[in-house]
Structure 1
Amino acid sequence: MKLKDSYPLYLANEAQQPNTDLAVTDKFTGEIATRVALADARTIDAGIQAAHEAQHAMAAMPSYKRQAVLQHCVERFKERQEELAYALCIEAGKPIRDSRGEVGRLIDTFRIAVEESVRMTGEVQPLDISPRAEGYMGIWKRVPIGPCSFISPFNFPLNLAAHKVAPAIAVGCPFVMKPASRTPLGAIIMGEVLAETDLPKGAFSILPASRDGADLFTTDDRLKLLSFTGSPDVGWELKANAGKKKVVLELGGNAAVIIDKDADLADAVERVAFGAFYQSGQSCIGVQRIIVHADIYDRFRDMLVAKTRTLIAGNPHEEDTFVGPMIDVKEAERLDRWIDEAKGRGGKLLVGGKRDGAMLEATLLEDVPLDTKLNREEAFGPVAFFEKFSRWDEALALVNDSKFGLQAGIFTRDIFKVLEAWDGLDVGGVVINDVPSYRVDNMPYGGVKDSGLGREGVRFAMEDMTEIRNLVIRRKAAEAS
């Protein structure tokens, strides 16, 4: 299989190749794999105007037609699974097995949207709650919010783009999308499939752009919603500049998992190794903090260290590879410095810690001081560290001792501890007997604190992309007898 020499952008549903200015590298070899058209400010403005002009046609599109568009995408993505996985393996450096898994999630997300696209319901509401409202009734429905702006990240360039695109089509919102410059191919192929449908002209534009030239995605008042997935620093800055539009932010985390003393340790080891090192730890819900009961701490630590030593790192195209490269050398160098800082402050390196270019070994530490970057910030790479607890309230406090609050995982068999954690953890989701990295694409997903605003998951994104419109009816007053 081979990538094309160049890929277009999509402006108002149509492929255009004004240039080949964006080089996409193979993240394992560092070589240029293909080139993509880069949108300038004029092109972005044209895409926003096209979405603005398409909003009424999109809103008027019958549900069954929107559903047919989404179903077409499902079928075409199935037909192009290997192509999509190969492109993802190249542009993101994601191991091929994980790349195939993300294509499966892309298909799942659109399949969920197929079902939800005909379920946008409202409610008949009685208004006669007092004598003054006798004879009145209310009905409300959801209507599309209007043109949307989507900015998607590099780490899940297919599925996190799908979590914006599929709900927008389901509710009837035109959109402009800026895929991550380092991983634009998945969104471009998505545009190629959407261009095969009968969506109204201007319904979508997919516009790779440099960060410097992309202010319109955030500031333009013709856009009614901004949905951004990426780093907290960038996300909160975009919100500050977004003006009056609604903003949905899916940001970062330094997710924790608790291993209680009654956990199935063999199972927990397998899942924590996955959660910490899957796709080189480049996940906002990747396991970063491993909080273990003192009674089992040494045993669990030694088991996880032994498991980590068995993980195969290297060429992401090889079927057995579990840990591939980080997205670029700069990110690997950053995390290498954080590891060195932790070690210099008394942290103990248990396994890994070596870097070769963008390849960083799966790494575990313990005794990492609270005020180090590795503890307080989002590592976003294949590094995790152990902490110890003796009391349950202490474990919950350790989880909450973070500026982030995306998801947390807990391995325990005690239902009362489960409910206490669900009540007390300041996170968007609690996952029991699995890692915080677990996500199914129809569940509400999002965080609190610095981890963001709003929820994704198709039905929940559809709610953000709609507004409630109320209808009040005064019925004819009854005639006096």
Structure 2
Amino acid sequence: MNKLIDKTTKKYVWINGEKVETENYATLYSPYSREPIAEIAMADAAVTKEAIRAAYEAKNVIGDMPAYQRAQILENVVNILTEKAEVAATIIATESAKPIVFARAEVARTIETYKFSAEEAKRIHGETIPFDAASGGVGRIGYTMKEPIGVIGAITPFNFPLNLVAHKVGPAIAAGNPIVLKPASQTPLSALFIAEVFEEAGLPAGVLNVVTGPGSVVGDVIVEDDRVKMVTFTGSPSVGIGISNKAGLKKTTLELGSNSALIIDKDIEIDAIINRCVMGAFSNQGQVCISLQRVYVHEDQYDTFVEKFVAATKQLKIGNPLDSETYVSSLITPSELERALSWIEETKQSDATILTGGKVQGGILEPTIITNADTCLKVSCQEAFAPIVVVNKIATIEEAVELVNDSQFGLQAGIYTNNVKHALYASKKLEVGGVMINDVPTYRVDQMPYGGVKESGTGREGIKYAVEEMTELKLIVWNQE
């Protein structure tokens, strides 16, 4: 095990500022080496309810805390995490097999996310209402306030185990809410690490609680407990839809993934965009909600793009995630590898062509490019969450937009074009939450609104926008007569 990782193999749940033992533990294995990393506490319903109780009892502590103090705690997290950046990156790479170069980038983004959260903590305000605009409002003045919503249940995925936790914990604390966090089963170490960082930063006990264990137990308790006022979830559509069905009148933010697409117009210099396309398709093994999965290239540029895209992809180094030269490593679990291989096998029974990849090298799926893929193939119409991208030919932008929209998902899409009319047409007609002009759909910075339509979910993340979701609007009216 890397020297930067805590050699304590037994990991407990974190409740009310303390490590709490559970009856059962499960071994956490490295996705890359399959060696044991740690023994992870498996919380049951009772332990989860204890975490919710701790959060509920801390809601006035954080809710009544002045904004500048909440901001200072978040600034302290920024400083501590900056000092421990390499430790954090090594934890991410070890538990998720994210190549260390991308793990370091995630830590840098996480630091920015908490920085934005500290800033937004000072910007939460209401507005005055012109009551005399109505005849019945003469003699009255009114204003709105934004109050903390209460206990927030946060359920996070494995693919960005530090930054997607930050996108829920940061705005929750900025808004004055306590949190019960259930991290992904494969990546609990990052969440337990950040809990200790928050303790060092001065966050009162009970405000952040981390409960590890199976989603069918921990997640269900969080979603169904009446003391939890909001659930924020990032993960699969099937689980998200289940949460929505169980949440009742709770507020929910659901980020449920996509099969993100890119349109490449005929007037684009292909050499200038290849590296971005490679990053969009294959960073973090394609395990990104906005990973570039479908590319629609104008017929005039198709052959050139495919040739150069394949050549660049073949240069990517596969291997150990802790090697700074590695670009692609293992998928998160052996079962995910088997699923991805079965999808690739399906394409072999069709008219599609696998130009590169499609095979396993040392337990790692090679970056895979497929052409002439029918829209009904799983690699095209479902979320691959693997280093798989399909490239198809189009004759017009209108045809491309129609193909992009022929999806159950709608998170983000991109278009490379120098034609203003084409850019405006795509901006208006693409059925997604975000359109990237002259960039891949994989682009994200942490202060922008982020979320989708259709089965890509509901609500928006991005610190300011998450704070809006995590506060309740209260109206105050004064009668002066």
Q: TM-score range by the shorter chain?
A: over 0.9
Measure the CA separation in 1 of the matches of 2:250 and 2:364: 40
Provide the C-alpha distance between the structure 2 equivalents of 1:242 and 1:130, rounded to a whole number of angstroms: 38
Q: Which amino acid aligns with 1:33?
A: I
Partner deviation per Cα, 1:394-449 (whole Å, 9 max, x = no partner): 11111111000000011111222212111111100011111111100000000100
Q: Does 1:291 align with 2:296?
A: yes
Counterparts in 2 of 1:133 and 1:291: CA distance versus 1, 3 Å: same
Match of 1:3 in 2: 6
Distance in 1 of aligned mates of 2:60 and 2:417? 51
Once the two structures are superposed, what CA deviation does each residue of 1:165-221 show, in whole Å capped at 9, x if it has no partner?
000110100110000010111110000111224433321210111123221111111
Matched, 1:86 2:94: no
Q: Give the drift of 1:57.
A: 2.0
Answer yes or no: is 1:461 the counterpart of 2:437: no
Counterpart of 2:128 in structure 1 is 124
Find the counterpart in structure 1 of residue 189 from structure 2.
Answer: 185
CA distances 1:310-344 after superposition (whole Å, capped 9, x unpaired)? 11111111111100110011101111111111121
Q: Is the 8 A contact 1:328 1:358 kept in 2?
A: no
Instruction: Give the partner amino acid of 1:144.
Output: P
Instruction: Label 1:312 to 1:20 Cα distance change in 2 as closer, same or farther (>3 A).
Output: farther
How far the C-alpha of 1:114 sits from its partner, in A, is 1.0
| Matched AA of 1:164 | K
1:3–1:34 CA contact under 8 A, matched in 2: no
Q: How many residues matched? A: 476
The C-alpha deviation readout for 1:332-361, integer Å capped at 9, x for no partner, is 111111111112111111011102464100
SS class of match (2:478): strand
SS of alignment partner, residue 379 of structure 1: coil
Partner secondary structure for residue 196 of structure 1: helix
Tell me how far apart the structure 2 counterparts of residues 358 and 257 of structure 1 sit (CA, whole Å): 29
Match of 1:479 in 2: none
1:82-161, aligned counterparts within 5 Å? 82-161=86-165
Matched, 1:311 2:305: no
Contact 1:64 1:118 (C-alpha < 8 Å) held by counterparts: yes
Asked if residue 245 in structure 1 is aligned to residue 250 in structure 2, the reply is yes
- Say if 1:182 and 1:74 are closer, same or farther in 2 by CA, change over 3 A: same
Give 5+ residue unaligned stretches, structure 2. Answer: none
Contact map agreement 2:80 2:201 (CA 8 A) in 1: no
Q: CA 1:298 to 1:182, structure 2 compared with 1: closer, same or farther past 3 Å?
A: same
Partner Cα distance (2:398, 2:463) in 1: 34
DSSP 3-state at the match of 2:42: coil
Q: Normalization by structure 2: what TM-score?
A: 0.97
Asked if 1:448 is matched to 2:447, the reply is no
Q: Deviations over 1:118-161 (max 9, x none)?
A: 00011011111232221112100111111000000011100000
Residue 273, structure 1, aligned to residue 278, structure 2:
yes
Q: Measure, in 2, the Cα distance between the counterparts of 1:182 and 1:213.
A: 16
Q: Match for residue 340 of structure 1?
A: 345
Shift of 1:15: 2.2
* C-alpha distance in structure 1 between counterparts of 2:240 and 2:135, whole Å: 49
Secondary structure of 1:186's aligned partner: helix
Residues 34-74 of structure 1: per-residue CA shift (max 9 Å, x gap): 22222221111011111112212221110011011101110
Distance of 2:215 and 2:362 partners within structure 1: 25
Q: Which moved more, 1:233-242 or 1:353-362?
A: 353-362
- Indicate yes or no: 2:425 matched with 1:417: no
In the alignment, what sits opposite 2:365? 360
What amino acid is the match of 1:354?
A: K
* Structure 2 residue corresponding to 1:234, chosen from 235, 239, 252: 239
**Contact 1:335/1:381 (CA < 8 Å) preserved in 2?**
yes
The amino acid that maps onto 1:172 is G
**Residue type of the partner of 1:406?**
L
Of residues 30, 43, 46 in structure 1, which corresponds to 2:47?
43
> 1:457 and 1:50 mapped to 2: Cα distance?
27
Measured after TM superposition, the shift of residue 19 of structure 1 is 5.7
Which letter does structure 2 place at the counterpart of 1:52?
Answer: Y
What's the secondary structure of 1:388's corresponding residue?
strand
Distance 1:76 1:237 in 2: 37
Q: Indicate conservation of the 8 Å contact 1:6/1:20, yes or no.
A: no
Identity %: 42
Secondary structure of 2:389's counterpart equals: strand
Q: TM-score, normalised by structure 1?
A: 0.97
Task: Report if the CA contact (8 A) 2:70-2:173 is conserved.
Answer: yes
Q: 2:170 aligns with which of 166, 171, 177?
A: 166
SS in 2 for 1:168: helix
Q: Given residue 65 of structure 2, which amino acid in structure 1 is its aligned partner?
A: M
